[in-house]
A and B are shown apart, each in its own frame.
Chain A
Amino acid sequence: MAGTQINRLSGKGLVDREKTAHFQFDGEAFSGHPGDTLASALLANGVRLVGRSFKYHRPRGILTAGSEEPNALVELRNGARREPNTRATTIELYDGLDATSQNRWPSLRLDVLSVNQLATPIFGAGFYYKTFMWPAAFWEKLYEPMIRRAAGLGYPSKLTDPDHYEKSNAFCDVLVIGSGAAGLSAALAAAKAGARVILCEEDFELGGRLLAESDEIDGKPAQEWARAAAAELESLPDCRIMRRTTVFGAYDGGVYGAVERVSDHLPVPPEHAPRQRLWRIVAKQSVLCAGGIERPILFGNNDRPGVMLAGAVRTYVNRFGVAPGRTAVVFADNHDALRTATDLAAAGVAVRAIVDPRPQASAAAEQVAGEAGALYIRGGIENVRGAHGIKSVRVKDAQGGSKEFDCDLLAMSGGWNPALNLTTHLGGKPAWDSALSCLVPGEDLPPGMQVAGAAAGQFSLQACLASGEAAGAEAAKHCGFSPSALRRPAPAQDRAPATPVWYVENSRGKAFVDFQNDVAVSDVKLAAREGFRVPDHVKRYTTLGMATDQGKTSNLNGAAILAEATGRYLGAVGSTTFRPPYTPVSIGALAGHHRGKDFRPTRLAPSHRWAEEQGAVFVEVGAWMRALMYPRPGEAAQETVNREVSNTRTNVGVCDVSTLGKIDVQGPDAGELLNRVYINAFAKLPVGKARYGLMLREDGFAMDDGTTARLADDHFYMTTTTANAVKVSQHLEFCQQVLWPELDVQTVSATEQWAQYAVAGPKARKVIEALLDAGQDISNEAFPYMACGKFTVCGGTPARIFRLSFSGELAYEIGVPARYGDVLIRAIMKAGAEHGIAPYGTEALGVMRIEKGHAAGPELNGQTTAHDLGLGKMASTKKDFIGRFMGEREALNEAGRAAMVGLKPLNPKTRIASGSHLVKRDAQATGANDEGYVTSMAYSPELETFIALALLSNGPARMGEVVKVCDPLRGNETLAEVCSAHFVDPEGERLRV
């Protein structure tokens, strides 16, 4: 198989030639070596055509050797693990790799939609906005589905991602981003000074461009130096090296987001290992050494496979030992790219010509050309031939002559741009460097960040080494360390002025700026003509820079064309904003393990296991799982609920109420605090008594309700609704710490500390008595309705008992420390067996509270007032309390407001659906007639009718009126009579027996 690697160069590169990795591309078998990327392996095998472009479906090859790649996107893996749009240039080759080209049908070579190219004159920038409007209905039916099918790139898997993801936190003194010459130097300087260093490298090898160049450092090959530097860093105790880790974003407070591709270089993740891991790195200082990104020079048909950035060509030759072509032309406006000619020639690739578009001839270039056996031509590329891979290029020289060169590789370079993206994530703006003709990091860097090497516009090797070392030392110094003296002086003159050439004028065919999104030079010019004159407008109008590469190789060329088209200085045109992530990050990594059942924590009540044993059906209530009902075999849901309700009303039932919020309020001013948070008075509540309370928000609307018991003079025990437990706890802390810190009181949530059960029904007392240790009295006289106290049960277990009732029956709530909850529920069931006890769930609880007209979540929805809930009279007029002043505003108390009433259907068997709206009996269901809505409904087994609670305009004054209950959503209308919300035992006699 290795024999197919026709472009593998002997004796070059860092791949492991001892081993072979077999892989497939579009179903064809190939081989490469560990250390290859998919791109280098494809090139080694002579594969140049790897994808199709977004809009015109033009054949595309490999442009770069890094994460900036716009063209070579493939679908990696299959089935549930399929990853569309994966850059072949960053895919680490592994044995068994399977990749497929994308955005083509039926095949890569024969793509039907490449017919779009014929219509390119019409498909110019912004053409969508000018057409597809006639007739209007055709947009959704015809045009848009057509566009959607043609657009997009790879196919997503529609199956659940089978892999795992993790999140981790890391803390360090100095975070170094990038491990090229600058990054290694920075990490060494900081770590040797004693700083805790984390070094992140997106590649699987440390070294950055050092791996790609034939440079020397300190007299040794640069690759050797990089290896030695890495080894030294590994040996230092407080330096952590993270390969395959991209720092994708800078956030406030020195927080950096990074993603580590833990297992992407393997066919599947090892057992118990994640595919990727999100790192939240907190760094006191950071040094950005992300390097540079080469930019192209644009010319007609510059997107043909075989046209490649010059630096990438060197990467393939030097790092991977691959010749991306056998006959090359180099087209560059800078000195750096000449090395490509030299390296190609040294590797045995014929270099036909060095084409130099600059106005002045370059003696250095001429010399390199001579050494490489190439012609030196001042001029530009006029056209490229060869649809699926270039066959020749036509060069137009400065004198107007034109010459065709047969070649299969065109290495181009328009200079380099600093990869400064992270410097702008916190709002900083890059600055224009007119000498370098590129954007460089501006003044307003993220706090604690320094930039070194090419990312700072320090492009030469010496400058990278020196600036990296200096920045690493400086960062360590900021963290309180004393770095030793710098070893590498900054080079005296390193800012070779650039003479950038952005595109070749009058070349033939489309000259692409943004390769992936098929934005051509002509599109940018058209946008400018139509008035889109700032880079952001051009971007949005033409889609330049919006592709998966976010314009890494295209933004500045686009800005340059715009500058020219609008007659402005390029440095004044500005740029679009770089945003996180630096390179695309998988949603899986950002989500970590928070998915499926583990999406959010699940809170289980102390009786949960017991309830499971009883066959309970559970329901999510916030984070809690609560027992909805306890069905018996063969029972329909309504039968279960009816049984649970009836049994509670005739015998005794038990319900786990541990999920209610419980807050301990202690201190001499505890009563005063409660006086200020509840609308009714609590300060004078006697010890041993509980009271129902309603609290408002400061805007006067109801916030929460519950009972609060006084266990001692300076000790209250508050309960809240399950949903509002955290909110109320935080509210009390706000009142106590911010509003009235002078009050001597402390509050603490005790929700998790107490298991609590409601034992309700005519026989409830007998059950509780059976649990009580001897000598304690809960007779009606000793322990009347709303009494509370501390007891011991089941042989010395401390318990708090409250004679409270939500169900409307004789009832007790009994609380024990949470660890005894499971034991207690079993003891209650045992003690209640002879009295016919049965557990009831939240559904039955809901029925009973509706029968009693108690407000709950659907009524306490944040939009209702005390008046609406019929609780207005509870409010004390003798004290200030939270929400009093604003709650007294007329609009919160006027009669026309929708206030709580009961509803009974005229036909008792007709269900009144919650969420139905109410209108007058003869009115139509329109907005103007809307008078309120149904909040809660239930079937009352006791009354043998459906009943409901509703908020009805002026409701309390409309008792006996028949209203229409409208549910147009489901096409139902019915009539119901307005009645008191207290359906069962309105006088509360059952509570007091």
Chain B
Amino acid sequence: MRINCPYCGARCLEEFTYRGDATVKRPESIDESARDAWVDYVYLRDNPAGLHKELWHHGAGCHSWLEVTRNTVTHEIVAVELAAKGR
């Protein structure tokens, strides 16, 4: 697998570290009422078969966190963006 890092260009898998689902959002509230949202955020995942937005860290490159859109059935990567963008 190769990921096209916006800063570094296409690089092989071993330069990156995987984190997981990029769509989960950290709750802003720390009230008890937000419990379900926290459990969701920390533990529950869609884990889809198909397109998956996911976070990768370019640790052997520019140290960017990337949001990669990848098909979990074919491993085809359809988009790579800086994770910081649009957040």
Contact = CB atoms under 8 A, between A and B. Distances in A.
The answer to A–B direct touch (Cβ < 8 A) is yes
Contacts of A726: 59
Interface stretch (A319-327, A531-539, A632-640, A737-745): A737-745
Interface in B12-40: 12-13, 17, 19, 26-27, 30, 34-35, 38
A252 B76 CA distance: 8
A253 B87 contact: no
Contacts of B74: 426-427
Contacts of A738: 55, 65, 83-84, 87
B8 interface: no
B49 interface: no
A653 to B, nearest CB: 35
Contacts of A427: 73-74
A886 interface: yes
B57 interface: yes
Contacts of A251: 1
Interface residues of A, number: 24
Greatest chain B CB density within 10 A among A251, A252, A280 is at: A252
A254 interface: yes
Contacts of B35: 885
A360 to B, nearest CB: 45
A734 B57 contact: yes
Given A255-B12, A734-B65, A738-B84, A282 B2 contact: yes
Contacts, number: 62
A730 interface: yes
Given A726-B59, A738-B65, A885 B38 contact: yes
B69 interface: no
Interface residues of B, number: 31
Contacts of A730: 17, 57, 59
A114 to B, nearest CB: 48
A426 B1 CA distance: 11
B75 interface: yes
Contacts of B79: none
Contacts of B38: 885-886
A864 B78 CA distance: 40
Contacts of B84: 737-738, 741
Contacts of B55: 734, 738
A427 B65 CA distance: 29
A699 interface: yes
B42 interface: yes
B63 interface: yes
A252 B77 CA distance: 10
Contact of A733 (B13, B41, B63): B63
Contacts of B59: 726, 730
B26 A734 contact: no
B42 A698 contact: yes
A884 interface: yes
A746 to B, nearest CB: 10
A733 B57 contact: yes
A866 to B, nearest CB: 16
B19 A734 contact: yes
Contacts of B65: 733-734, 737-738
A686 interface: no
A681 to B, nearest CB: 16
A252 B75 contact: yes
Interface string A280-312: 101000000000000000000000000000000
Contact of B1 (A255, A733, A739, A884): A255
Interface string A447-462: 1000000000000000
Interface string A424-467: 00110000000000000000000100000000000000000000
A675 to B, nearest CB: 14
A737 B41 CA distance: 18
Interface string A720-732: 0000001000100
Name, among B34, B65, B87, the residue most crowded by chain A CB atoms within 10 Å (CB to CB): B65
Interface of B: 1-2, 10, 12-13, 17, 19, 26-27, 30, 34-35, 38, 41-43, 55, 57, 59, 63-65, 73-77, 82-84, 87
Given A255-B2, A737-B82, 12 more contacts: A252-B13, A253-B2, A254-B2, A255-B12, A280-B12, A733-B65, A734-B57, A739-B26, A741-B84, A885-B27, A885-B30, A885-B34
24 contacts: A252-B13, A252-B75, A253-B1, A253-B2, A253-B10, A255-B1, A255-B12, A280-B12, A282-B2, A426-B75, A427-B74, A698-B26, A733-B63, A733-B65, A737-B65, A738-B65, A738-B84, A738-B87, A741-B84, A741-B87, A880-B30, A885-B35, A885-B38, A886-B38
